[in-house]
């Protein structure tokens, strides 16, 4: 995570945006006391929204937790893809 001021962001906007896009870094633009703006890549934003959606219901959250636990304990299986 990078932090900058509005003035520095204005002066170096291309550099800041390139860094955010290339390195999947989050940039916080400090706007004063307890105020700021977050800049992130579209790919990072979409990933965050997908995770938020998957965890939006307790049922989904429990299913994901169960799947993660199965992977950790090695309780998995392989399935062949059906080709047309």
The pLDDT tens digits for 75-84 are 888 888 888 7
Q: How many percent of the chain have pLDDT more than 90?
A: 58
Q: Which homologous superfamily does the CATH classification assign to the domain defined by 1-40?
A: YefM-like domain (3.40.1620.10)
For residues 8-34, give the mean pLDDT.
93
Residue with tokens 């520095």: 8
State how far the Cα of 47 lies from the Cα of 69, in Å rounded to an integer: 21
What is the average pLDDT value for the chain, to the nearest integer?
91
| Extents of the domains making up the chain | 1-40, 41-73
Residues 71/77, Cβ–Cβ less than 8 Å: no
Name the helix (H) or strand (E) containing 79. none
Q: Quick one: pLDDT at residue 36?
A: 93
The 10s digit of each residue's pLDDT in 63-77 is 889 999 999 998 888
The stretches of the chain forming alpha helices (DSSP H) are 6-11, 13-23, 42-54, 58-73
Q: Quick one: pLDDT at residue 39?
A: 97
């Amino acid at each position: 995570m990078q932090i900058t001021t509005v003035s520095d962001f204005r002066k170096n906007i291309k550099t800041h945006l390139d860094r955010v896009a290339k390195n999947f870094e989050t940039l916080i633009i400090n706007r004063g006391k307890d105020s700021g703006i977050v800049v992130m890549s579209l790919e990072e934003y979409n990933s965050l929204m997908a995770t938020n959606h998957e965890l939006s219901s307790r049922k989904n959250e429990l299913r994901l937790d169960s799947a993660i636990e199965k992977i950790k304990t090695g309780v998995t299986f392989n399935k062949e893809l059906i080709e047309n």
